Structure 1
Amino acid sequence: MAIDKSIKQTYDELGYVVVPGLIPQEHWNDLDAACERVIQKTRTGTWSHRRTVGKQFPPFDNDNPDSWGVQHVMHPQLNEPAFGKWYTSEGLLSVVKELLGCSDEQLQLELFNMLINPLSHDFALRWHRDDVNEKASEEEERNALNTWHYGVALRPDNCLYVVPRSHSQVRTPEQRKLSETSDAPENPLDMPGAIQVTLQPGETIFYNSNILHCATYSSTSPRVTLHGCVGDIRGGSTRARNVLQHGLEWMKGDEFRASLPQGLRARKMLDNLLDMQKNSGPVGYSLQN
């Protein structure tokens, strides 16, 4: 698949880039239907691996019946092969390799979840970097590099706010003041430099997880956003905490390996993840609720 080389420049400069057309039309209906089934299972309690209102970051619990996310959409017990098919698709991973400058053999299977709207509560995530504590010093912020996430909206999505270029810049005193507590913002655009990112159906935003970002969730606006990350083994164990804190022990089983799309690439990506798990030891949690 031919990739527009300008996306790498945009990604490096701004910390994110939006790419359209990465879901082939022939896969769209299967993926959309799989999302609806999984959301229904989560809403009714059939699927318990979820992100709950009141908890912004892992570990999540079941104290609140309302959900803002579905965890582990490639889990074999969900039996939804459309997710793994898209996660390992040529179109998506061609962009990944362009942005990371890596080969098929260096790709690492990581997280794949879904973000949804709560039904009974409006909810927001505070301004944060995914694997940098809110109280981090300037030096710690500078050292947090080379991790990234991607999300794809299956419906119009205007939940995400980012501060462009913040993936390579330490926070200003005003930005630090608005991001060093657990409080969600009353108005995300109060953050200096913040913009709202609106995705149309089928668009994928790739972003460096060190970019300063937050999200709002309205109980009255449907949201179905696939959200995950792919790694590069050259990062070694530096990615371990950000990924393994979500609980991926189930990926070690034969059932999950058998559920992956046919071909060596998906299995090699899994092997790379398992190698990181084996070599990482205890990882803890990136951020505090």
Structure 2
Amino acid sequence: MPETVFTPSGVRLRKHSARAGDLNWLLLPGGPGIGSESLDELATALNVPGAVWLVDLPGDGSNRAPPGAAGDPFAAWPQVLVEAARALPNVVFAGHSTGGMYLLATPELERHIVGLALLDTAPDAAWHRHFVAMTARHPLPEVEAATAVYERDRRDGNIAAIAVASAEWNFTAQGLAAGRALLARMPYNAAAADWSEDNFDHVYRALWWPATLPVLVLAGSDDRIVWQGGWGEDRFHTANALFRAIPGGGHFPWIENPTAVAAAFGELAAQVRPV
């Protein structure tokens, strides 16, 4: 299998690592507009059987002009994720933040995967008002200043400044230095962020829940970005679901506590059955 795979519509899968085993772990970033490079430390922390892949939708992150992409690369978002699930056997799809929401907005995935991991994500758009309230309680003047610059000049580089300035929201004090470095090195894509803001973020709700597939719902205990209260409904607490809070973790909990994140993925791997 090549180290990089493109689906017919331009979803990019880049192999990060491989161990013995039949599973393919597909890691989908949040954002949107931030590339799968944001999951590199997660991929490194994992000790799961099979191969780990970093996934970018067409037009997202640094996957700007992939082969096969339509004139409007966002036209098939997020349903184009089905192509990624079909590109490899025995896929466990893991989505971080908005990435997890894209997965839960694509019911057809259930027929093409053997497991699901939802990282610091939510089952509907209610998380957004909680995020706005959090930013009002904990204002960051640097974010306000960077946002004002971006509104005057909507360049990708100016999104990067907003992201770096928001590090205190995304990471705990323990992970702040590493978190700032992570956010500073990311590719950013304003077009992808705008598409999601206009078409998805405020109307999203989960359209499916795994009936039998093993599913992991994981979040940092101190995540201030995506409110986790939506998972309280009984319909999500099925026998096939693992819920794990990562002690000391923020919105990227593998930065503060990679050992606990790896252990949770190990629990999921033990329940997944290749076909």
More strand by share: 1
Larger RCO, structures 1/2 (Cα 8 Å, 6+ apart): 1
Q: TM-score, normalised by structure 2?
A: 0.25
Q: TM-score, normalised by structure 1?
A: 0.25
